[in-house]
Amino acid sequence: MTADREAALLAEVPDGLFIGGVWRPASEGRTLRVFDPATGEAVKTIADASVADGTAALDAAVAAFPEWSRTPARERAELLRRTFDLLQERKEDIALLMTIEMGKPLAEARGEVVYGGEFIRWFSEEAAHVQGRYGANPEGTGRMIVSQHPVGPCYLITPWNFPLAMATRKIAPALAAGCTVVIKPAELTPLTTLFFVKLLEEAGLPAGVVNVLTTSSSGKVSEPIIRDPRLRKLSFTGSTPVGQRLLEQAAEGVLRTSMELGGNAPFVVFDDADLDKAVDGAMAAKFRNIGQACTAANRFIVHRSVADEFARRVTERVQNFRIGRGTEDGVTIGPLIDDRAVAKAAALVEDAVGRGAQLRTGGKAVDGPGTFYEPTVVSDVRPGSDILREEIFGPVLAIIPFDDEDDAVRIANDTEYGLVSYVYTENLARGQRMIERLETGMMGLNMGVVSNAAAPFGGWKFSGLGREGGAEGIHEYLQTKYTLTPNP
């Protein structure tokens, strides 16, 4: 029954590129296979775009832009709203599809449908709220008009870890603002985007407004698009090194860019924290998405007087996790995305333990099939360990003790990243000091998950540029014009 349902769902996912309102094979006839990381088996074969397909997709977005940008905001909003409704109808199917191609437990995939869907609803509402200003200039010599205009055709690149939310977080504000797009999902998890764009089509998407490229040659296909002077905006979510490379390419056309890059989130637990709440928050901040989130807590910086008790409690919780394919009842830890991710988690734990950290639980890859790594806790991690510097992107909780507030702030800020931080304290003044002292674009104060469609998501330092979501999100796709007219 389950296998039949999965097969029927996978058969429903389009296997072509979507260009100018038409689903079609790749121009050179190449295909790529998508795998289930829990079984290692290929689940679907889809089109593998060439450079020529990339140009064709941009052509389509450029051709559709004049009309779409002039379409009344209310109509654009209604398209998004209909898509939101269709997404609710197909909620279970999209969740299952994400679990199949990405591995997250089904309950979490359902949560992502809610979260990802909220961006569509939010920006359907924001579309009609873009406003300008009109008024006399201070000298009284004229009237100033400030207006907002869509930036133009956009290229959107998304990662594999949140297959739906990363797509909706970019497509929805772009469409709401009046922009047309080419989206390139990660080659590891492209099926959710293909399915989602089919829903947009069902909702009445005009030809060329959204175009989809799936490819195993991301660099080769993307570079000519980014360097094409007709493109006006690049929005990228992924790793910092790739983001840096794309920024160099974008410099040529002085492109507007949004960059949601890597993180190395500190999770600070003070001695005045409510330890029960901190442990609950730690579980969510660390093990959601099997640790594969840019917002995942990477370093648990815990006051020395409570570090041992905190380690004991999180270890107990971790030992109750159930590992398996995300479709099975009760599974809380799915597979990592691929072999490389398993090897990375293993190497980081080995390095930390080799430098004197204590392994409390886990610490091993699970024998195949599938790419699983045991949920792991290491405590007393020593300064200089790789795990403090690198994004773990796996189910490994690393604890470092600290002695006083200045010490905690110094350790927390000791990274080039600045996406999110988590702080647990019952002392209000201390919490407020942390808001001012921690160098991150977002913070969970006694909260282990911060993401929300109504909030400006984004980082400081090497974690990126721009914001997605919130009132800020639509402005990433708008440009400002100031006009001076004579006094009437």
Q: Which residues are catalytic?
A: 260
Q: Which one among 124, 168, 237, 315 touches ligand NAD, defined by CB under 6 A?
A: 237
Residue 453 makes contact with ligand NAD by CB under 6 A: no
Q: Are 247 and 168 in contact (CB under 8 A)?
A: no
Q: Which one among 50, 99, 124, 161 touches ligand NAD, defined by CB under 6 A?
A: 161
C-alpha angle 317-284-372 in degrees, rounded to nearest 5? 70
CB of 314 to ligand NAD, least distance (A): 22
Q: Which one among 158, 257, 332, 371 touches ligand NAD, defined by CB under 6 A?
A: 158
CB of 301 to ligand NAD, least distance (A): 19
Dihedral of alpha carbons 20, 25, 29, 35, sign: positive
CB of 336 to ligand NAD, least distance (A): 11
CB-closest chain residue to ligand NAD: 238
Look up residue 208 and give its two tokens: 């060329």
Rounded to whole angstroms, the Cα distance separating 460 from 438 reads 10
Instruction: Find where tokens 């971790």 sit.
Output: 318
What Cα–Cα distance (Å) separates residue 301 from each residue in 41, 84, 376, 413?
A: 39, 40, 16, 11
Contact string (CB under 6 A) for ligand NAD, positions 405-434, x = contact: --------------x---------------
CB of 221 to ligand NAD, least distance (A): 8
What Cα–Cα distance (Å) separates residue 305 from each residue in 85, 254, 386, 401, 412?
A: 50, 52, 25, 9, 18
Which span sits near ligand NAD by CB under 6 A: 110-118, 182-190, 270-278, 429-437?
182-190
The Cβ of residue 172 has, within 10 Å, a number of other Cβ atoms equal to: 31
Which span sits near ligand NAD by CB under 6 A: 49-57, 99-107, 180-188, 306-314?
180-188
CB of 486 to ligand NAD, least distance (A): 46
Which span sits near ligand NAD by CB under 6 A: 94-102, 141-149, 151-159, 421-429?
151-159
Query: How many chain residues interact with ligand NAD (CB under 6 A)?
Result: 27
Residue 473 makes contact with ligand NAD by CB under 6 A: no
Q: Provide Rg for the chain, Cα atoms.
A: 23
- The residue (of 117 and 159) whose beta carbon lies closer to ligand NAD is 159
What Cα–Cα distance (Å) separates residue 83 from each residue in 60, 196, 332?
A: 21, 9, 30
Q: Which one among 160, 196, 321, 462 touches ligand NAD, defined by CB under 6 A?
A: 160
Instruction: Find where tokens 């569509």 sit.
Output: 120
CB of 282 to ligand NAD, least distance (A): 19
Instruction: Tell which positions 238-277 bind ligand NAD, by CB under 6 A.
Output: 238-239, 242, 245-246, 260-263
Instruction: Tell which positions 365-404 bind ligand NAD, by CB under 6 A.
Output: 391
- The residue (of 256 and 313) whose beta carbon lies closer to ligand NAD is 256
Q: Which of these, 224, 276, 269, 271, lies nearest to 250 by C-alpha position? A: 224
Listed in sequence order, the residues at least 6 apart from 168 whose beta carbon sits closer than 8 Å to its beta carbon are: 116, 117, 119, 120, 196
- The residue (of 206 and 224) whose beta carbon lies closer to ligand NAD is 224
DSSP code per residue over 245-260: HHHHHHHHTT-EEEEE
Instruction: Find where tokens 């939101």 sit.
Output: 84
CB of 315 to ligand NAD, least distance (A): 26
Listed in sequence order, the residues at least 6 apart from 121 whose beta carbon sits closer than 8 Å to its beta carbon are: 80, 81, 84, 453
The Cβ of residue 33 has, within 10 Å, a number of other Cβ atoms equal to: 13
What Cα–Cα distance (Å) separates residue 94 from each residue in 135, 192, 204?
A: 48, 7, 19
Instruction: Find where tokens 């069902």 sit.
Output: 202
Q: Which one among 187, 274, 405, 472 touches ligand NAD, defined by CB under 6 A?
A: 187
- The residue (of 222 and 425) whose beta carbon lies closer to ligand NAD is 222
Which span sits near ligand NAD by CB under 6 A: 9-17, 159-167, 194-202, 479-487?
159-167
- The residue (of 186 and 396) whose beta carbon lies closer to ligand NAD is 186
Instruction: Tell which positions 275-314 bind ligand NAD, by CB under 6 A.
Output: 294
- The residue (of 228 and 391) whose beta carbon lies closer to ligand NAD is 391
CB of 69 to ligand NAD, least distance (A): 26
Give 33's Cβ-side CA count (13 Å radius): 7
- The residue (of 35 and 310) whose beta carbon lies closer to ligand NAD is 35
Pairing relationship of beta strands 256-260 and 265-269 according to DSSP bridges: unpaired
CB of 165 to ligand NAD, least distance (A): 9
Q: What is the DSSP letter of 34?
A: E
Residue 218 makes contact with ligand NAD by CB under 6 A: yes
Q: Are 366 and 267 in contact (CB under 8 A)?
A: no
- The residue (of 108 and 360) whose beta carbon lies closer to ligand NAD is 108
Enumerate binding residues for ligand NAD (CB under 6 A).
Answer: 157-162, 184, 186-187, 218-219, 222, 237-239, 242, 245-246, 260-263, 294, 391, 419, 459, 464
